[in-house]
């Protein structure tokens, strides 16, 4: 079983040496190692995969002793993450994740799918995943969001994934899942922020469209980007056809970003991701 | 020798038939044909390559007679276009075009390179292309632009290409070269309009950067897009390194867009391009 | 309802005129038109979408009269095709097609999934598609293939899709479905023909891997290519990881090629495809 | 000034620790670090950029003492490499490298361009680079190659770059420049090994073409791949048009691979490259 050590702290001389010394003295075996020093703010990031037996508390204490104050240490492994999915009416991202989940390819347990519409209930239940329908009809935005939040919290997930959830979430909601809330936006951000990006792309006459998976923060479509991808389009495609073509990009980009996050390959630092 | 017929008009039934009938009766041989009907405004576009001998005036008259009022007919060929290049300090787009020009790969005659700096003079003259240095120092924007416009007009070019010309042109200037002024913007428009797109891309933490070749109109970076391309980037690249990596994309996209335009493959309709 | 006219014949002067004249005289409305003349053998291809009412027999007779002997005329529409899928153990292409089918995005009716293993039975039946298990155990290749062929023929499909079917089909089998049998090969053909392309790609140390959807003919992996796509890989990926990464490309390329074929956008000519 | 340490050896526990300990004790500052363990043969690779003053002999001795027998240590920096280019008639790769060289973007000094034709002499001399014409006419393959080898050896380059040099080199020649001889092959290897890859690609009807930069070894087009890239093509393009479109890919891929090699980012191990 592989273990993962994720460390970040202000950069100083000897950090790699000090960390690997601790691991060596615990007789642990590094199988893969990545470091990066962010130059704008001089911040150090290191992700280490290793094998071997160790006393968790002693190892953490030794690492803290060796490293500067203010260090962030995460000692974890690649076990499956508990997640909840939010969706609305479009199926393509949800379908893709349910299939990967069913075949053990997602590195996550989907605890529940929550939606403000019922159209994806059948699909979800085919795969023996609970589906919770929380209509927004006749409720204020606050009421509906509170209900959704309550439903999510009942599952206590590590990550919440917006698989084409078409309602805007309040900063209060987002604050509950800082760096744990992942969205797929159907454009090549920062182009076409907001609603109807394919209509915007058609209107502008672009020759390439894309999709962006990102952590959600308080500002709409402004959170740290995890993955992006694109496909070429041309003048023969209507906004609707661009949207169709874009779906395959969206689902692949979202799945790719979840793999990175669930495999603990992503650091979030300020408004960016560092990906190993 | 191949001839080219570019026709656009409001759509109606029988247009392809009527156009090809005229060509058939003139005993002309179609070697390639493309049609497109834009559905939002119901507008018809057709581009035909053909061979054979014909009386230009008679052919045009027959076409006009066969087609609805308001038709635009362009009867041309693939001969080389006369162009003027504007540049500032960066060499990569200019170098690439000068090389293609020197080896007869550009389908254009570069009549002159005009720059507000002198650094590219040597490069340009190596390839026996006139270089005109028009400094902006000590001049108002209007004065400088008037001087540049005068210099261009002396060459009477069919197209003006902004090969990394880093000064903003006034709507008055642009109006002289409607659909004949081509710019390469160093971002994937409409992301990162304006100055320093690589710094903006770095700041935003995007995972893909791009370049956009477009016709220039009165609004900055808002004209009809001709070609776009992208490359992946990651957190290890500084804004400067993104800019370096982006240069190869810029030069290839600009060259590609010029090939499309000079080979008469591009219609401009409203704020978009239709490309055959 | 849109109709489709696909015509191919030796090239000669006036073909577009003659075809569109027939359509015009039948008062039919062309909504989209594509022509291509293959220059090596001077062969003409035209695909026309049109609307309007017509007498099928009269229209076909008028077209035949107007066109040279040896013309091939296909008058059809975009209705759903009847198809049978063959699979083995890998689910990703089958899953993707079942999902698209369930949401009416495939332009086909999947009549049955046939497999030489049982592992995909549950998945298939979730989507209310018949699953037929035809084991190859204890049978000669000829016996097994005859059984599979019989099972397919009972459904009388227009197309047979090999969705990661891992057994080689005999030329006799293939001959039953000339230009109607589509395979997804997990490499960028013609690189890595045959078994285990990802192992070959790993061994060779390539920096890009791909997938190829093609019609199957008598020679292994040599049929007309419909669509290809690629993803970058690097030295950190094992053959198994390349295979995992490749799956997303395979499923997208197969779905894309089926869309082209089922929408009647593909001509097969000699060993190539002409795609409109 | 940045220094570079490239180490590879059979993997064992504690290598990162032992290497970084030596660097730490020499008071050197790691600015970037990459490790990789190849799992098939269990081989360890590490590339470290660092700054600081040191005694070269003492540092190397300390590293050798700390590391297992059989280790390969390269202590170098990013200074410009001395190179010789070989070309034939096609200009696009040579042009691109001469331009980058002229603008200090190549990280190499081009000592000479050697060609078996004269057509690129003018281009080369425009950029004040020596051009040596060594015709193969009236000479045996061995005679010509000996002459070329002699000419190269007179310059004592660190790398020899085949910038579209269209003659096959003997294993004897290649042996002189093991892992120092770089070629650009105009296909997506291993597809279309050998002559006329674009003609082969056209014949096969592929939908994507590519280019491959690789080290040359004794077997034609079989050496370690450094970089590859692709562009889509379609049925409308002739073999000649594919070749034209491919040129831009070739020049960009060759330049990219040279950047990687000259910046000491590439290990060659068996028949593959490990790239940091």
Q: Burial code of D230-263, b = ≥16 C-beta within 10 A, e = fewer?
A: beebebebebeebbebbbbbbbbbbbbbbbbbbe
CATH assignment at residue D36: 3.30.70.260
pLDDT at C190: 87
| Tokens 């969706």 belong to residue | A87
Answer yes or no: do A125 and A214 share one domain. yes
D113 pLDDT exceeds 90? yes
pLDDT at D192: 87
| Tokens 């409308």 belong to residue | D236
The answer to whether C12 and C68 are in contact (CB under 8 A) is: yes
A78 three-class SS: coil
pLDDT at C219: 82
Known catalytic membership, residue A221: yes
Q: Does C179 touch chain B (CB under 8 A)?
A: no
Structural domain ending residue among the three candidates B77, B99, B130: B77
Distance CA A70, CA A76 (A): 19
Question: On the CB side of D248, how many CA atoms lie within 13 Å of its CA?
Answer: 20
Domain around A41: 3-77
- Which of C149, C96, C150 has the alpha carbon at shortest distance from C127? C96
- Counting Cβ atoms within 10 Å, is residue C195 exposed (0-12), middle (13-18) or buried (19+)? exposed
Question: On the CB side of A112, how many CA atoms lie within 13 Å of its CA?
Answer: 17
All residues of chain C having their beta carbon less than 8 Å from the beta carbon of residue B21 are 17, 21
End-to-end CA distance of chain B: 19
Q: Which residues of chain C have pLDDT under 70?
A: none
Chains that touch D (3 or more CB pairs under 8 A): A, B, C
Q: Does B222 touch chain C (CB under 8 A)?
A: no
Answer yes or no: do B268 and B137 share one domain. yes
Interface test with D, best of A7, A11, A12, A13 (most D CBs within 10 A): A13
Answer yes or no: do D241 and D254 share one domain. yes
Active-site residues of C, by number, are 221
Answer yes or no: do B235 and B112 share one domain. yes
Q: What was the ipTM of the complex prediction?
A: 0.94
Mean pLDDT, range B89-117, rounded to an integer: 98
Q: Which residues pair with B159 in a beta bridge?
A: B83
Mean pLDDT of chain A: 95
Nearest CB neighbour to C234, from listed D210, D234, D275: D275
For residue D151, count other CB atoms closer than 10 A to its CB: 15
pTM of the model: 0.96
Q: Does C271 touch chain B (CB under 8 A)?
A: no
- Which of B43, C47, B95 has the alpha carbon at shortest distance from D97? B95
Answer yes or no: do D23 and D122 share one domain. no
End-to-end CA distance of chain A: 19
Mean pLDDT of chain C: 95
Distance CA A188, CA A208 (A): 9
Answer yes or no: do D62 and D191 share one domain. no
Give me the sheet containing D225-232, strands edge to edge.
Answer: D131-133, D108-115, D81-87, D159-162, D181-185, D208-215, D225-232
Cα C198 to Cα A189, C193, C209, D211, distances in angstroms: 33, 11, 8, 20
Cβ neighbours of residue C32 under 8 Å, at least 6 residues apart? B35, B36, B37, C48, C49
- Which of D169, D162, D197, D168 has the alpha carbon at shortest distance from D183? D162
Answer yes or no: do D125 and D195 share one domain. yes
pLDDT at A268: 97
Structural tokens at position A201: 């792309």
Structural domain ending residue among the three candidates A77, A101, A124: A77
For residue C130, count other CB atoms closer than 10 A to its CB: 13
CATH assignment at residue A252: 3.40.50.170
Nearest CB neighbour to B31, from listed C23, C29, C37: C37
The answer to whether D221 and D196 are in contact (CB under 8 A) is: no
Do D33 and A16 make contact, defined as CB atoms within 8 angstroms?
yes
Which phi and psi angles does B134 have, rounded to 5°? -125, 95
Using alpha carbons only, how large is chain D's radius of gyration in Å?
A: 21
The answer to whether D11 and D44 are in contact (CB under 8 A) is: yes
Cα B224 to Cα B251, C22, C75, D62, D152, distances in angstroms: 18, 37, 38, 62, 50
- Reported as a single tens digit per residue, the pLDDT across B50-80 is 999 999 999 999 999 999 988 999 999 989 9
pLDDT at B49: 94
The domain total for chain A is 2
For residue A272, count other CB atoms closer than 10 A to its CB: 19
- Reported as a single tens digit per residue, the pLDDT across A244-268 is 999 999 999 999 999 999 999 999 9
Answer yes or no: do A142 and A48 share one domain. no
Give chain C's largest Cα–Cα span: 64
Mean pLDDT, range A91-107, rounded to an integer: 98
Distance CA B22, CA A275 (A): 62
Answer yes or no: do D161 and D264 share one domain. yes
Distance CA B220, CA A253 (A): 31
- Reported as a single tens digit per residue, the pLDDT across A114-167 is 999 999 999 999 999 999 999 999 999 999 999 999 999 999 999 999 999 999
Answer yes or no: do A151 and A97 share one domain. yes
| Tokens 């393509």 belong to residue | A92
User: How long is chain D?
Assistant: 276
Answer yes or no: do B213 and B161 share one domain. yes
Mean pLDDT, range D71-90, rounded to an integer: 97
Distance CA D39, CA C237 (A): 10
Answer yes or no: do C62 and C114 share one domain. no
Structural domain ending residue among the three candidates D77, D103, D122: D77
Cβ neighbours of residue A241 under 8 Å, at least 6 residues apart? none
């Amino acid at each position: 079983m592989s273990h993962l050590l994720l460390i970040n702290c202000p950069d100083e001389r000897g950090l790699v040496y000090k960390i690997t010394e601790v691991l060596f003295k615990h007789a642990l075996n590094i199988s893969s190692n990545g470091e990066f020093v962010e130059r704008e703010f001089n911040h150090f990031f290191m992700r280490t995969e290793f094998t071997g037996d160790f006393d968790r508390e002693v190892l953490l204490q030794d690492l803290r002793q060796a490293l500067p104050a203010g260090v962030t240490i995460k000692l974890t492994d690649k076990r499956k993450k508990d997640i909840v999915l939010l969706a609305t009416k479009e199926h393509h991202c949800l379908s893709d994740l349910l299939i990967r989940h069913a075949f053990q390819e997602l590195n996550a347990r989907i605890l529940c799918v929550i939606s403000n519409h019922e159209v994806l209930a059948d699909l979800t239940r085919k795969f023996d995943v609970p589906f919770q329908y929380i209509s927004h009809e006749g409720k204020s935005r606050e009421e509906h969001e509170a209900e959704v939040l309550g439903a999510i919290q009942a599952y206590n997930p590590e990550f919440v994934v917006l698989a084409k959830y078409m309602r805007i979430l309040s900063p209060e909601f987002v604050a509950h899942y800082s760096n744990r809330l992942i969205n797929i936006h159907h454009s090549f951000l920062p182009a076409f922020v907001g609603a109807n990006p394919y209509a915007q792309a058609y209107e502008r006459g672009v020759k390439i469209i894309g999709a962006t998976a990102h952590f959600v923060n308080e500002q709409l479509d402004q959170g740290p980007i995890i993955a992006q991808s694109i496909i070429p389009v041309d003048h023969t495609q209507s906004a609707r056809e661009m949207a169709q073509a874009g779906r395959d990009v969206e689902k692949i980009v979202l799945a790719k970003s979840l793999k990175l996050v669930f495999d603990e390959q992503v650091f979030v630092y300020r408004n960016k991701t560092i990906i190993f």
